């Protein structure tokens, strides 16, 4: 049986909910989900998006920390290649202290050339740059002195979690994930990536490692009337799918997103599950146990009233079956 999470990226296209309302509702939903026993909130980042995709997950994560008590705060995925790893380690440490040890990270090298141009980072060297910064981030989060680019560095304050917050490495380089991370999240459900990760973990003396799995739909929306909900959700889901597909064009195979023409094609793709509570329970029972049900109640500026309805149905009629 799968677990579940709530996910925010704060896209706010012009036809959707105003951005200030969207941020406020996202915080309110997360606080409510925390009180209802949701295990995890995922906060994502991208940069320079015309729809305002959240570029600053640490700021939003701090607000989440201040409104919640138990929910794990997963920053996923941080495009570490675009960031200073020392400043990132400091931000992680402060957020871990603010949340009393509830921070988790997924870090990736990135795949959108426009973002690299925005930060003046060479796209064709992203793998090498990512590994250098990842090694520095891992060292920095221990709170111990280490050498970075010829100078000694110590990151303060110390994190609450020891030796450091849980770190997942995402993408299509399983050996890198085995070397640097606590777990691996493949970009796609490709068994070859999984096998290579496990083999490298064993070679390094880490057992089988911890393999997460991108199984099932990208997000789930629970409703008593899927037909009606698809008519309401359609423009928002289509906006998201098209935006992600555009982002992924430079590096094929980095994500499951492919171009779609319209809502009907998107619905048939299986990327999203708009389902009744009973169908959602059955879906959870079929999912790989390493996967999670992803609830995205404010997808691309969706009317918050619709998102609240889905969350409430999930908690009332699905979550008890996942306990």
Tell whether omega for the bond before 77 is within 30 degrees of 0, i.e. cis: yes
Q: Which pLDDT value is given to residue 1? A: 45
Q: Which pLDDT value is given to residue 287? A: 92
* 89 lies in some domain: yes
Q: 31: domain CATH number?
A: 3.20.20.30
To the nearest whole number, what is the mean pLDDT of the chain? 96
Q: Which pLDDT value is given to residue 254? A: 73
Q: Which pLDDT value is given to residue 134? A: 98
Share of the chain above pLDDT 90, in %: 91
Residue 283 has pLDDT above 50, yes or no: yes
* 255 lies in some domain: no
For 74-115, the pLDDT digits (tens) are 999 999 999 999 999 999 999 999 999 999 999 999 999 999
Letter string b/e over residues 245-283, b meaning 16 or more CB atoms within 10 A of that residue's CB: eebbeebeebbbbeebeebeebbeeebbbbbbbebbbeb
Tell which phi-psi region holds residue 143, choosing left (phi > 0), alpha (psi between -120 and 50) or beta: left
Q: Which pLDDT value is given to residue 252? A: 77
Task: Retrieve residue 78's tokens.
Answer: 């941080």
* 212 lies in some domain: yes
Q: Which pLDDT value is given to residue 2? A: 61
157: domain range? 3-219+286-303
Number of domains in the chain: 1
Residue 172 has pLDDT above 70, yes or no: yes
Q: Which pLDDT value is given to residue 322? A: 87
Cα distance between residue 237 and residue 242, in whole Å: 9
Report, as an integer, the average pLDDT of 220-235.
Answer: 98
* 276 lies in some domain: no
* 309 lies in some domain: no
Task: Retrieve residue 172's tokens.
Answer: 């299509």
Cα distance between residue 47 and residue 70, in whole Å: 29
In the chain, what is the straight-line distance between the N-terminal and C-terminal CA atoms, in Å? 9
Residue 130 has pLDDT above 50, yes or no: yes
HSE-CB of 16 using CA atoms within 13 angstroms = 31
Q: Which pLDDT value is given to residue 178? A: 98
* 160 lies in some domain: yes
* 67 lies in some domain: yes
Report, as an integer, the average pLDDT of 38-47.
Answer: 98
* 10 lies in some domain: yes
Q: Which pLDDT value is given to residue 323? A: 82
* Contact predicate 293/38, CB 8 Å: no
Residue 165 has pLDDT above 50, yes or no: yes
């Amino acid at each position: 049986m799968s677990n579940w999470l709530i996910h925010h990226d704060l896209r706010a296209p012009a036809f959707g909910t105003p951005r200030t309302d969207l941020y406020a509702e996202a915080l309110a939903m997360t606080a409510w989900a925390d009180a209802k026993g949701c295990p995890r909130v995922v906060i994502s980042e991208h940069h320079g998006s015309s729809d305002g995709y959240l570029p600053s997950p640490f700021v939003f994560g701090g607000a989440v920390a201040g409104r919640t008590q138990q929910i794990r705060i997963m920053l996923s995925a941080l495009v570490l290649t675009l960031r200073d790893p020392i400043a990132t380690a400091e931000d992680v440490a402060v957020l871990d202290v603010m949340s009393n040890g509830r921070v988790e990270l997924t870090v990736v090298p990135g795949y959108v050339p426009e973002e690299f141009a925005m930060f003046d980072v060479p796209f064709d060297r992203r793998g090498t740059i990512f590994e250098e910064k990842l090694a520095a981030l891992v060292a920095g989060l221990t709170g111990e002195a280490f050498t970075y680019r010829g100078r000694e560095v110590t990151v303060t304050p110390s994190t609450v979690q020891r030796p450091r917050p849980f770190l997942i490495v995402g993408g299509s380089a399983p050996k890198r994930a085995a070397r640097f991370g606590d777990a691996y999240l493949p970009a796609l459900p490709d068994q070859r990536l999984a096998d290579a990760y496990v083999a490298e973990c064993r070679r390094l003396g880490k057992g089988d490692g911890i393999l997460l799995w991108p199984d099932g739909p990208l997000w789930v929306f629970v409703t008593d009337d899927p037909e009606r909900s698809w008519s309401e959700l359609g423009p928002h889901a289509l906006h998201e799918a098209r935006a992600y597909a555009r982002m992924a064009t430079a590096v094929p195979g980095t994500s499951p997103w492919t171009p779609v023409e319209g809502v009907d094609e998107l619905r048939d793709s299986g990327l999203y599950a708009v389902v009744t509570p009973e169908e959602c329970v059955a879906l959870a029972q079929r999912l790989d146990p390493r996967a999670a049900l992803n609830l995205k109640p404010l997808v691309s500026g969706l009317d918050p009233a619709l998102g609240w309805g889905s969350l409430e149905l999930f908690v009332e009629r699905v979550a008890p079956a996942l306990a």
